[in-house]
Structure 1
Amino acid sequence: MKENLFTFEQIHIEVARNASDDFNLFHDKHKWLEITHNPFKGPIVLGFQLNTLIEYQMRLYREAHHEDEIIADKQLRFSNYQTIFVNALRPRQEMSLDIKKTLISTIPKLTLTNRVSIKSQGKTILLGYKKETQEPLFLTDTDLSALPDLNSLPDKTFVPDSEFFLKRKWLHNGNVKNFLSGSLAEQSDYFDELTQFTHYPEIFPCSLTSGVLLEKARLERHDFKANPMVYTSHDISVDRLLVKQLKNNDKVHVLVKQLPESKDNTLNHTRILLRTYECFGLLENQEVLFRIKLNLVPLEEIIKNLSAKS
């Protein structure tokens, strides 16, 4: 596929972070300066913004190649994003998005796969895959059936007899539209007030996870200036059938669980330990809307590793 060129402005970042309640200092046009040893020399684009851009461009790709018909006919209910963040992207930095030709495999089950990449100024920003499947690809072994009624639990607390931190979020059409526009996606493809057409995008509910992780860290008195964390990867499975049912003011229970750090779970075979989170978005009836495995590392460790190599 021909590479598409895009440029984010600072206003896109501000709109997206406000819409998703992401108060990470890395995206703030003033507070990025307060981050200790920040190497990015300015605010950077949100990871979920890039995923939303991929979602939208993949939607256009599927429609152009009539693959949306295959997805519907074969009941490929789950949309999966596998993303590795290699470098940060700054506003006003022209970037290219490349979507490779769809590979259709039937073993073990029918899967549509596209390799995607984002590059800017000769550097790779992101590498990943977009896959359509009948079953979710990530966190399929986690059984959530024993959870209590989440509606009855206090907000911003740990779920009893579990390791999950709970934060409630509510979906609002205005926030979704803003996040789409902030991610360089055409909001009118998802919303039309005159015909009362509403079709929520897949990534926006997932993007609320970042704000929940920040809320959890703030309650734990994490120092965002002295010890900033950066994403290294996202593994996302979204139930597109449930996405189609979303509407304004719907409640989403976001659950996040931090896994113990391990020497067997490191960044690119370095000594940098990954901080891994398993995250779920459950609707009011506790159906699972999305499953996300996130990896983060302290910025300080990345800088140390780069200094050791130079």
Structure 2
Amino acid sequence: MNINEGKFSLDLVHIDVARNATDDFNLFHDKKQWDQIEGNPFEGPIALGFQLECFIENLVKRYRQHHDEISLIEQEQLTFSNYSFNFAGVVKPKDQLTALIKKSRLSSSEQTVLSNRVVIKNEQGIVLIGFKSESSRPLFANDVALHQTLFIGNLLDRNIVDNTGYFYKRKFTTNSNAKNFLTSSYVEQSDYLDEVNDKIVFPETYCTSLISCALLERGKAEGLDFKRNPMVYTSHKISVNRRNVEKLRSDQKIHILVGPPISDTEPEIEGHSGLIKHYCFALNQEKEVLFQGEIQLAPLSYILPK
């Protein structure tokens, strides 16, 4: 077995299960309504980006175990699990996919970081590329200070919190949803959740996948037309507090917070308009941070051929 490589394929049912497990109602994943999106170039439903990242989470976990890197992570107290990926294409049902992990690199300039470059390809080329890394401090969204109201206030579901600009979405953990999300991502669910043997490990990417539902709820509340003006992910940059995720059990609150849209035209793509980013956070029921990150999106028209 090549531990640096994983091959898999997602069927339509995998996409259905993933969007049901995460409450993702984006029409790009809907087998009956995808063609109601104006100018949709994908000719059918496409997989969720977080499905692909779940497969990566599991593949890198196995890689770390095989190369005896778990002890290094504990020794260096690399508490944060980081996902930094750009989306270069889409995955359709039946696509033959290959995930490749490059050799681990350990750096210690400003802090100790254990990092691997990862790419997922289909028959046409690269669909996702970036890094999965472990660090002692979060790598993303560190320049954002959450308002104290978000920690101590009474948060009203599907509403902007006071004057913070953050949209709040309440979710609840369930073992069944986490299992379904794992299965939808071509990952063996019993490796994470097996009640008979008292194994309860919520995957990091199940928690982060709830961002999509919160973003969609925010868009819906603000009147976004999902058929005429849909948005697509261009990148995820997310830091997960592994210790706080490990404490999760079924039927616990997860507080998702989505910041207001920020114009995000980067130097390498200057001249393009429409790119935005949202700072996103999740807190557990004790209001401890589960993850923090920057989600970049663009209008569908941005990625269409000019």
TM-score normalised to structure 2 length: 0.95
Q: Which residue of 1 aligns with 2:272?
A: 271
Question: Could you tell me how far apart the structure 1 residues matched to 2:152 and 2:177 are?
Answer: 24
Q: 1:43 aligns with which of 33, 42, 45?
A: 45
Q: Which residue of 2 aligns with 1:53?
A: 55
The answer to whether the 8 A contact 2:83-2:239 is kept is: yes
Matched, 1:176 2:174: no
Question: Could you tell me how far apart the structure 2 residues matched to 1:261 and 1:3 are?
Answer: 36
> Which range is displaced more, 137-146 or 54-63?
137-146
Unaligned runs of 5+ in 1: none
Q: Which residue of 1 aligns with 2:12?
A: 10
The answer to whether the 8 A contact 2:88-2:126 is kept is: yes
Deviations along 1:107-136, whole A, 9 cap, x unmatched? Answer: 222110100001111311011001100000
Shift of 1:147: 2.1
Q: 1:100 aligns with which of 75, 78, 102?
A: 102
The answer to whether the 8 A contact 2:169-2:256 is kept is: yes
The SS at the match of 1:152 is coil
Matched, 1:298 2:302: no
Residues 205 and 267 (structure 1 numbering): CA distance in 2 closer, same or farther, change over 3 Å?
farther
Unaligned runs of 5+ in 2: none
The answer to whether the 8 A contact 2:260-2:278 is kept is: yes
The one-letter code sitting in structure 2 at the alignment partner of 1:290 is F
Q: Which residue of 1 aligns with 2:162?
A: 160
The answer to whether the 8 A contact 1:78-1:134 is kept is: yes
Question: Could you tell me how far apart the structure 2 residues matched to 1:284 and 1:55 are?
Answer: 24
The answer to whether the 8 A contact 2:257-2:281 is kept is: yes
Q: 1:89 aligns with which of 91, 97, 100?
A: 91
The SS at the match of 1:194 is helix
The answer to whether the 8 A contact 1:150-1:253 is kept is: no
The one-letter code sitting in structure 1 at the alignment partner of 2:210 is L
Q: Which residue of 2 aligns with 1:282?
A: 283
Residues 212 and 96 (structure 1 numbering): CA distance in 2 closer, same or farther, change over 3 Å?
same
The one-letter code sitting in structure 2 at the alignment partner of 1:200 is F
Question: Could you tell me how far apart the structure 2 residues matched to 1:235 and 1:187 are?
Answer: 25
Question: Could you tell me how far apart the structure 2 residues matched to 1:108 and 1:147 are?
Answer: 31
The one-letter code sitting in structure 1 at the alignment partner of 2:256 is V
The answer to whether the 8 A contact 1:267-1:273 is kept is: no
Shift of 1:41: 0.8
Question: Could you tell me how far apart the structure 2 residues matched to 1:110 and 1:267 are?
Answer: 28
Shift of 1:286: 1.6
Question: Could you tell me how far apart the structure 2 residues matched to 1:151 and 1:168 are?
Answer: 14
Matched, 1:147 2:149: yes
Question: Could you tell me how far apart the structure 2 residues matched to 1:34 and 1:145 are?
Answer: 39
Deviations along 1:212-232, whole A, 9 cap, x unmatched? Answer: 111111111211011111100
Question: Could you tell me how far apart the structure 2 residues matched to 1:223 and 1:167 are?
Answer: 20
Question: Could you tell me how far apart the structure 2 residues matched to 1:253 and 1:18 are?
Answer: 19
The answer to whether the 8 A contact 1:227-1:299 is kept is: yes
Deviations along 1:131-164, whole A, 9 cap, x unmatched? Answer: 1000000011222252255562221111112110
Q: Which residue of 1 aligns with 2:36?
A: 34
Question: Could you tell me how far apart the structure 2 residues matched to 1:45 and 1:165 are?
Answer: 26
The answer to whether the 8 A contact 2:262-2:278 is kept is: no
Question: Could you tell me how far apart the structure 1 residues matched to 2:271 and 2:66 are?
Answer: 41
Question: Could you tell me how far apart the structure 1 residues matched to 2:127 and 2:213 are?
Answer: 22
Shift of 1:20: 0.2
Deviations along 1:6-48, whole A, 9 cap, x unmatched? Answer: 1000110000100000000000111111111110011101010
The answer to whether the 8 A contact 1:82-1:235 is kept is: yes
TM-score normalised to structure 1 length: 0.94
Deviations along 1:205-260, whole A, 9 cap, x unmatched? Answer: 11111011111111112110111111000001000000110000110110001233
The one-letter code sitting in structure 2 at the alignment partner of 1:288 is V
The SS at the match of 2:240 is strand
Question: Could you tell me how far apart the structure 1 residues matched to 2:137 and 2:75 are?
Answer: 15
Matched, 1:117 2:119: yes
Question: Could you tell me how far apart the structure 2 residues matched to 1:228 and 1:150 are?
Answer: 34
Q: Percent identity?
A: 42
Question: Could you tell me how far apart the structure 1 residues matched to 2:50 and 2:213 are?
Answer: 11
